[in-house]
Amino acid sequence: MVADALEKQTLHETSLAVWDIPTAAAGERFAVKIGVKSEAGCAMAGCRIDVLDDTGAVAASGQLGETPWPGTDALFWTEAELRAPATPGPAGFSVRFDATDAGEPHRSATLAFNVPVVAKPRHTLTVNVAADGRPLEAAIVRLGPYRAMTDAAGVATVKTANGRYELVVWKAGYDAPTVPLTIEADAAVQIDARALPEDDPDSHWTA
């Protein structure tokens, strides 16, 4: 028992991270980035990770790359490609790190994460956004879970499934109406935004 206690004390802790989680279309493939970090700063390159689906089956496997994620000292990472379930809704996955292959003794670790899954897009909505008669560039266009951004011509194209939505357009310094839409085919819509008045920095002063 003493030997077991000493062995546990010598195990380095590991932490997991999952990022760049997209909104995935039902039944289609997508990718996420996965990182493993040793509390002792050990190099984890070549170590294996598995991604499990909500049934516990292995959905993807991979090895950590040779170099840490830019801007970090020891977050070794890889990209895993997965397939979204056929049914829309939150899909549960988990990352499993088996420390057996680590050069130094480490604890194994797991981390759960969810991926939002939406119905497979079937139509294209073209959104033209203008303010004061001029195209509004870099405005965020959101149609339920689907998003896009306007280009220099003020145009954004959103791939979407059939359904009823509220079209929301946002950009700092502008106000745009929320438009209810029913999508059953390809469509186009014009959004007229207005520039908000700038705050007067002297407005709080009194004579």
DSSP letter (8 states) at residue 115: E
Specify the pLDDT at position 104.
81
pLDDT of residue 5 exceeding 50: no
Worst-scoring range by mean pLDDT, 90-94, 116-120, 172-176?
116-120
User: What single-letter amino acid sits at 157?
Assistant: T
Domains in the chain, please, with CATH? 14-118 (2.60.40.150), 123-195 (2.60.40.1120)
Give the tokens for residue 140: 């965020």
pLDDT of residue 84 exceeding 70: yes
The DSSP bridge partners found for residue 190 are 128
Instruction: Find the DSSP H helices in the chain.
Output: 2-9
Strand, helix or coil at 8? helix
- As a whole number, mean pLDDT of residues 15-33 equals 95
Q: Which of 152, 171, 49 is nearest to 98 (CA)?
A: 49
Specify the pLDDT at position 174.
97
Specify the pLDDT at position 90.
95
Specify the pLDDT at position 3.
44
Q: What share of the chain is helix, strand, coil (3-state, %, to 5)?
A: 5, 55, 40
Q: How far apart are CA 114 and CA 125, in angstroms?
A: 27
133-160 pLDDT, tens per residue?
Answer: 999 999 999 998 888 999 999 999 999 9
Specify the pLDDT at position 205.
56
Specify the pLDDT at position 10.
79
